[in-house]
Amino acid sequence: MQFQPILEDIVETVRPLLGAQGQVARYIPALARVPAAQFGIALRTCDGQEAQAGDSATPFSIQSISKLFALTLGMQALGDMLWERIGREPSGNPFNSLVQLEAEQGTPRNPFINAGAIAVTDRLVSQGDAKAAMLALLSSLCNEPVHFDEEVAASEAATGFRNIALGNFMKSFGKIDNDVSAVLDAYFHHCAVRMSCLQLARATGYLCRDGRHPFSGEPLLTERQTRRINALMLTCGTDDAAGEFAFRIGLPCKSGVGGGIVAVVPDRLSLCVWSPALDATGNSLLGMRALELFTARTGLSVF
């Protein structure tokens, strides 16, 4: 299939809608300044074909897309032990919600809500330098150096009261081993990684290759672990819009409040769309529209 004309068509279709609807994430001051009228899309197939259109080379804050890579590091380090403290059910609640944690004794519903990613990060901090591990994984996966945006990390640390509450609340149940501030420092830095659509389309390539590195082919995860990540992306990757994503798009996806969404077509390709204006669930409005156009045009779906 020739993907380049399809991506160019998608850019032309969404261009008139740029900046018309939704709002950039305001609760993180450094993200509130990002111009809304930007859109990029990129993909890489399992045989290495690449296509990209729009602002596909512009780096943006990956935010919760980092939860995917934190989970990958956690599965690599701990295997099934990781699941002793983290569930696998969709939350049906906003990504930063505290409500279910009390009834569930400090065990987060899944690794893709904030509480779950903070719990995964705690396990990574126990293993060593969680910030360095994230940059090393991402730089290897996209085959070029990846960095933190220190301004975004500092902005989140200064205003991340809910995340601080989540960390302390889980600690009160004995579910966080390390110093909460050290765990949150790593978590905020993970969210503050800057990458472009093309870099993320490359980096998520292991998820459409049964866990094999997108460039070297080395196994990063087992086939079974990779299927599980894709299952979690489908059921929990877009928070309380996961049902709508499965219904309208039908691919495992992971979104972030920087406006990026990555999606996987197992055994075929990985792709990333980005547009900063979000809907009420914290998902990119035009990103979701673009993914819907992409699956409609290509007929690709996991169903």
Annotated binding residues for substrate, written as ranges, equal: 64, 114, 156, 163, 187, 257
Q: Which is nearer to ligand GLN, 205 or 256 (CB)?
A: 256
User: Smallest distance from the beta carbon of 213 to ligand GLN, in angstroms?
Assistant: 25
Nearer to ligand GLN, 166 or 220 (CB): 166
The least distance separating ligand GLN from the CB of residue 264, rounded to whole angstroms, comes to 18
- Rounded Cα gap, residues 78 and 83, in angstroms: 9
Q: How far is the CB of 266 from ligand GLN (least distance, A)?
A: 24
Q: Which is nearer to ligand GLN, 97 or 225 (by Cβ)?
A: 97
Closest to ligand GLN by CB, 55 vs 239, is 239
Q: Which residue is nearest to ligand GLN (CB)?
A: 64
**Dist. CA 192–CA 204, nearest whole Å:** 18
* Closer to ligand GLN by Cβ: residue 114 or 270: 114
Nearer to ligand GLN, 198 or 278 (CB): 278
* Residue 153 amino acid letter: A
What's the min distance (Å) between Cβ of 156 and ligand GLN?
Answer: 5
Minimum CB distance to ligand GLN smaller for 78 or for 164:
164
User: Is residue 54 within 8 Å of 39, Cβ to Cβ?
Assistant: yes
Q: How far is the CB of 120 from ligand GLN (least distance, A)?
A: 13
What does the H/E/C string look like for 246-273? HHHCCCCEEECCCCEEEEEECCCEEEEE
Q: Please, what is the minimum distance in Å from the beta carbon of residue 95 to ligand GLN?
A: 4
State in angstroms the smallest separation of the CB of 94 from ligand GLN.
9
Site residues (vs ligand GLN, CB under 6 A): 63-64, 95-96, 114, 156, 163, 191, 256-257, 282
- The three state secondary structure string of the chain is CCHHHHHHHHHHHHHHHCCCCCECCCCCHHHHCCCCCCCEEEEEECCCCEEEEECCCCCEECHHHHHHHHHHHHHHHHHHHHHHCCCCCCCCCCCCCCHHHHHCCCCCCCCCCHHHHHHHHHHHHHHCCHHHHHHHHHHHHHCCCCEECHHHHHHHHHHCHHHHHHHHHHHHCCCCCCCHHHHHHHHHHHHCEEECHHHHHHHHHHHHCCCECCCCCCECCCHHHHHHHHHHHHHHCCHHHHHHHHHHCCCCEEECCCCEEEEEECCCEEEEEECCCECCCCCEHHHHHHHHHHHHHHCCCCC
Greatest extent of the chain over all pairs of C-alpha atoms, in Å: 53
